[in-house]
Amino acid sequence: MKPKSQLEILKSGLNAFRPDVPKPDTRLRRLRRTENLRALMRENRVTVDDFIYPIFVEEQAAERSPIGSMPGIFRETEATLPLAVKDVAKHKVKAVILFGISHNKDHSGSDSMHSGGLLARMIAEAKNASPDTLVIADVCFCEYTDHGHCGVLDHNHDVDNDRTIENIAIQSVIAAEAGADMIAPSGMMDGQVAAIRAALDENGFSHIPIMAYAAKFASAFYGPFRDAAGCALGKGASMGNGDRKTYQMDPANLREAVREAEMDEIEGADILMVKPGLAYLDILARLRDETNLPLAAYQVSGEYAMMKYAAQAGALNYDDVMLENLMAFKRAGADLILTYCALDAAVALDKLADHLEL
Ligand code: PBG
């Protein structure tokens, strides 16, 4: 008889010691054995087609300037914006969303309601630079008002909903006339989608879609954006005037988010967005069950900053956590992702593809 091998001795010893451990019939690890098998089994994919890249544009600035709280992101000038948009196209990212940094602010944000204002100019400049790149207009007033709120204030210093949606309708037509391919209202005013749809349709823009910030939460994750866009609310603001909680949603509320989304769909939204991203994946997953409209997730400035700074501190690998986060949005049901990582992700995905082909 052949002498027993080390392994056989070990096995019989283990069996003698724990004789009744059942062996699994179902072995899920079978399908994870090799990279090719895992690729075959992958349920979701992140591609460069999913991304919308936000760009900040500062008027009357001599040079583009780095944004301290968002490493790798710049405030472009109107002169550098065309280069930035061309670079986006070079990375094969299909869409940008523009945020203005105004030096012509007033009570109502009137600069954004003129055809010569920053909103209109930056859209035209981006469109000229790369006509095939989709240029999305974020329509809101916080970047253009001197008080920093997302609309005109009433005598109680709260945002006046119905006057604001009249202004949003004007702002949207201005954006469409300047060449915007899509309108994205982010002010969280009631009735804003219906007001915009009607105004666009009346002015010959029935072909321009609306991507509604359907569920936008009053989030601390917007901190770096407010720094970048210069739209923080005044510190000395009076009671109830120092935050956006009378219009942005309470982070505690899921059912209300579904109602917001339902209203926007009824009012004519073409795409629904959830914002912020990672902390609100449950909202996204729930909306995926509730609607057949395309869904977008906005991975906001604070999420970007967390990944960048953790990576800088050596705690995380930026590329890996970035791709994992982006995949989480796809898995939860997003079709589109607004992300400051878009260009980094395009490069990382390219590298990954090259590596797999080797
Ligand atoms: C407002 C707007 C904000 C963001 C996008 N649009 C800021 C806010 O509501 O305070 C935040 C985006 C980000 O944090 O990346 N128009």
Q: What is the pLDDT of residues 179-217, one digit of tens each?
A: 999 999 999 999 999 999 999 999 999 999 999 999 999
* Cα 71 to ligand 1 centre (Å): 17
In whole angstroms, give the CA distance from residue 354 to residue 81: 30
Both structure tokens of 202: 């009346």
Q: What is the mean pLDDT of residues 351-357?
A: 80
Look at residue 350 in the predicted model and tell me its pLDDT: 95
Given the CA of residue 54, which atom of ligand 1 is nearest to it? 15
Catalytic residue among 94, 127, 216, 330: 216
Confidence of residue 16 (pLDDT cuts 50, 70, 90): low
Confidence of residue 357 (pLDDT cuts 50, 70, 90): low
* Cα 276 to ligand 1 centre (Å): 9
Confidence of residue 358 (pLDDT cuts 50, 70, 90): low
From residue 70, how far is each of 56, 302, 341 by CA, in Å? Answer: 12, 8, 11
Instruction: Give residues with Cβ within 8 angstroms of 221, minimum separation 6.
Output: 276, 279, 300, 301, 302, 303
User: Is a pLDDT exceeding 70 seen at residue 254?
Assistant: yes
In whole angstroms, give the CA distance from residue 306 to residue 70: 9
Residue 275 annotated to the active site: yes
Confidence of residue 146 (pLDDT cuts 50, 70, 90): very high
Ranking 37-51, 119-133, 137-151 by mean pLDDT, the lowest is 137-151
* Cα 225 to ligand 1 centre (Å): 6
Residue 351 annotated to the active site: no
Whether 339 lines ligand 1, by a CB cut-off of 6 Å, is no
Look at residue 21 in the predicted model and tell me its pLDDT: 83
* Cα 86 to ligand 1 centre (Å): 24
SS3 95: strand
For the segment 92-101, what is each residue's pLDDT rounded down to a tens digit?
999 999 999 9
Q: Which residues of 184-201 are buried (b: 16+ CB within 10 A; e: fewer)?
A: bbbbbbeebbbbbbebbe
Average per-residue pLDDT for the chain: 93
Instruction: Return the residue whose CA atom lies nearest to atom 14 of ligand 1.
Output: 222
* Cα 158 to ligand 1 centre (Å): 19
User: Is a pLDDT exceeding 70 seen at residue 12?
Assistant: no
In whole angstroms, give the CA distance from residue 218 to residue 347: 32
Could you tell me how far CA 127 lies from the centroid of its own chain? 20
Nearest alpha-carbon partner for 281 in 212, 217, 187, 209: 217
- Looking at the domain covering 44-355, what would its CATH class be? alpha beta
Look at residue 228 in the predicted model and tell me its pLDDT: 84
Instruction: Return the residue whose CA atom lies nearest to atom 7 of ligand 1.
Output: 222
Given the CA of residue 223, which atom of ligand 1 is nearest to it? 14
Both structure tokens of 22: 């059942």
DSSP letter (8 states) at residue 155:
T
User: Is a pLDDT exceeding 60 seen at residue 325?
Assistant: yes
Whether 273 lines ligand 1, by a CB cut-off of 6 Å, is no
Pocket mutation for ligand 1, best pick of 216, 225, 245, 273 (most atoms within 8 Å of C-beta) = 225
Look at residue 242 in the predicted model and tell me its pLDDT: 74
Ranking 19-28, 115-124, 218-227, 342-351 by mean pLDDT, the lowest is 19-28
pLDDT > 70 in the chain, percent: 92
In whole angstroms, give the CA distance from residue 193 to residue 74: 30
Q: Which residues of 63-93 are buried (b: 16+ CB within 10 A; e: fewer)?
A: ebeebebbbebbbbbbebbbebbebbeebeb
In whole angstroms, give the CA distance from residue 143 to residue 230: 7
